[in-house]
Amino acid sequence: MGGVRGRKISKRALTMDAGSLTFLIFLFLIAFLASGTAIFVAIICTCVVSMTIFLGFDIHRIGAALARIMIRSSSAWELSAIPLFIWMGEIVYRTTMVEGLFKGLAHFARRLPGGLLHTNVFGSAMFAAVCGSSTATTATVGKIFLGELNRRGYDRSIAIGSLAGSGTLGLLIPPSIIMIVYGLLAQVSIIQLFAAGLLPGLLIAGLYSLYIAFRAPRLVAPVQHEQTPQIPTWRAFVYLLPVLSLMLLVLGSIYSGWATPSESAMIGVAGALLLTALRGELSLRLLRDTLLGAVPVSCMIVLLMASAAFLSMTMGFLHIPQDVARFIGMFDLGPYGLLLLLAVFYLILGLLLDGISITVMTLPITLPLVIANGIDPLWFGVFLVIMVELAMITPPVGFNLFVIQGIAGETILRIARHAFPFFLLMCLAAVLVTIFPQIALWLPHVLFH
């Protein structure tokens, strides 16, 4: 009976257009999220309800499919890189390496127009290369750098805005957690994604620094006397050495082909622990605190990955990706029109959801569209990450805004206003990467082809 009923409802579901099915599934998802359910639970419940109503599957068949998906999607070896990179970031966050990073960068940045405001950009870019998380980058750099800039009398609005914008570099500059998630879901080489994100990340950092230098004459001049004595250049390099060595270990091992992302993450953790021990900061309490910080975030990401795989399977059963692709193809938008449509779509979602949730929830629909329009999925990974970066500084749920609120004590709307120029600069970077795709594709081609 269940099989006959399933076939009848399947035929009825197929008579519904893709827009109606997608809208109803999205409505189910919003309803579960509005009830306060965790995101991965909301996705799974949405899939169960959709498969029951539209496909007529019984609970045993759904349970068996969910069990297979959960085991398969959570046992990929590449997933081991995620908790290790998060743990490495936690180790650096809870030690004094970041204080040394500021002292070293301050020595070089004070000579530039805008002075130490550039430390937000340089520090975030460097920490992003050993962390892979936007919120961790913002919190780690902000806890030291923002206080130092305030103490020296720098313009508070641009100090906060540059921190909000620069913190998003943790998503684009490798090793990036969200790129690992995208690579696993889209079946794209994670190493090539890491290479593709490097130059766009440096481009965004360069645009931020140029803006700070341009704004420098208009800013209120900071106090002339620096409260930290001048240090020789060699000592500045010594302060930078711990973070630089971790960058070399992680990125060098990946780009040289000597290690996979998972292996390079393990190397990075070992290097961070060794540096912490050499600095006399390694303790059981530090290990406990860093693990307690890394484990919940890692579990959340893996559960989201598993729920995304279940959502992808549900979408496939309902033929939604193919039907949506066929529907959008009727408008003959072309690659640029499609990317503009997706950019608006992601910016709207960024008002409501965090970056990883946006990625896992939308990729089952957007990736087939992208491939059907001849867009390189490697390049699209970079484009998607930039869209997610924009979501990180967009109220009301921009995670970086909340992190800075906890550090600076400003309101979310005021922080968002300070970050708006950097939001526009990131939009400019997205346009440049779209017009000149080799910004993202040149380095992977050189290194791996």
Per-residue pLDDT of the chain (449 residues; tens, 9 = 90+): 333 344 444 544 544 566 678 788 888 888 888 888 888 888 899 999 999 988 888 899 999 999 998 888 777 777 888 899 889 988 988 888 888 888 899 889 888 888 888 999 999 999 888 887 888 888 888 888 888 888 888 888 899 999 999 989 988 998 888 999 999 889 999 999 999 999 999 999 999 999 999 887 666 555 544 455 677 888 889 999 999 999 999 988 888 888 888 899 999 999 999 999 999 999 999 999 999 988 988 888 888 888 888 888 888 888 777 777 677 777 778 899 999 999 988 888 887 777 788 888 888 888 988 998 899 999 999 999 999 889 888 887 677 888 888 888 888 889 999 999 999 999 999 999 999 999 999 999 998 87
For 92, 251, 264, the CA distances from 176, given in Å and listed in that order, are 16, 11, 12
For residues 85 and 192, state if they share a domain: yes
Is pTM beyond 0.85 here?
Answer: no
For residues 41 and 87, state if they share a domain: no
Query: In this predicted structure, what is the pLDDT of residue 419?
Result: 92
Choose the final residue of a domain: 17, 46, 75: 75
b/e for 57-77, b at 16 or more Cβ within 10 A?
beeebbeebbeebbeebeeee
Instruction: Count the domains in the chain.
Output: 2
Residue 109 CA to residue 208 CA, distance in Å, equals 14
Choose the final residue of a domain: 75, 90, 121: 75
For residues 104 and 58, state if they share a domain: no
Residue 157 CA to residue 216 CA, distance in Å, equals 12
Indicate whether 92 belongs to any domain: yes
Sign of the torsion formed by the C-alpha atoms of 156, 420, 349 and 434: negative
Is the bond preceding 444 in cis, omega lying within 30 degrees of 0?
no
Query: In this predicted structure, what is the pLDDT of residue 410?
Result: 84
Indicate whether 307 belongs to any domain: no
Query: In this predicted structure, what is the pLDDT of residue 224?
Result: 47
- Residue 74 sits at φ, ψ, to 5 deg, of -100, 0
Residues 6+ apart with CB under 8 A from 287: none
Indicate whether 62 belongs to any domain: yes
Ramachandran assignment for 393, one of left (phi > 0), alpha (psi -120 to 50 degrees), beta (any other): alpha
Rounded to an integer, what is the distance from CA 308 to the centroid of its chain?
Answer: 16
For 41, 78, 175, 295, 403, the CA distances from 73, given in Å and listed in that order, are 16, 10, 21, 18, 30
Indicate whether 320 belongs to any domain: no
What is the length of the chain?
449
Indicate whether 203 belongs to any domain: yes
Neighbours of 335 (CB within 10 A): 12
Query: What domain range is 48 assigned to?
Result: 1-75
CB 170 within 8 A of CB 124: yes
For residues 171 and 57, state if they share a domain: no
Indicate whether 167 belongs to any domain: yes
Indicate whether 316 belongs to any domain: no
For residues 46 and 130, state if they share a domain: no
Residue 429 CA to residue 424 CA, distance in Å, equals 9
For residues 28 and 87, state if they share a domain: no
The C-alpha angle 141, 147, 148, rounded to 5 degrees, equals 90
For residues 7 and 47, state if they share a domain: yes
Query: In this predicted structure, what is the pLDDT of residue 274?
Result: 95
For residues 290 and 385, state if they share a domain: yes
For residues 394 and 252, state if they share a domain: yes
Query: In this predicted structure, what is the pLDDT of residue 203?
Result: 96
Residue 429 CA to residue 273 CA, distance in Å, equals 36
In three state form, how does the secondary structure of the chain look? CHHHHHHHHHHHHHHCCHHHHHHHHHHHHHHHHHCCCCHHHHHHHHHHHHHHHHHCCCHHHHHHHHHHHHHHHHCCHHHHHHHHHHHHHHHHHCCCHHHHHHHHHHHHHCCCCCHHHHHHHHHHHHHHHHHCCHHHHHHHHHHHHHHHHHHCCCCHHHHHHHHHHHHCHHHHCCCCHHHHHHHHHHCCCHHHHHHHHHHHHHHHHHHHHHHHHHHHHHCCCCCCCCCCCCCCHHHHHHHHHHHHHHHHHHHHHHHCCCCCHHHHHHHHHHHHHHHHHHCCCCCHHHHHHHHHHHHHHHHHHHHHHHHHHHHHHHHHHCCHHHHHHHHHHCCCCHHHHHHHHHHHHHHHHHCCCCHHHHHHHHHHHHHHHHHHCCCCHHHHHHHHHHHHHHHHCCCCCCHHHHHHHHHHCCCHHHHHHHHHHHHHHHHHHHHHHHHCCHHHHHHHHHHHC
Indicate whether 169 belongs to any domain: yes
Dump pLDDT digits (tens) for 56-69. 888 999 999 999 98
Is the bond preceding 174 in cis, omega lying within 30 degrees of 0?
no
Query: In this predicted structure, what is the pLDDT of residue 377?
Result: 95
Residue 221: CA atoms inside 13 Å, Cβ hemisphere, count? 5
Rounded to an integer, what is the distance from CA 87 to the centroid of its chain?
Answer: 16
Choose the final residue of a domain: 75, 105, 132: 75
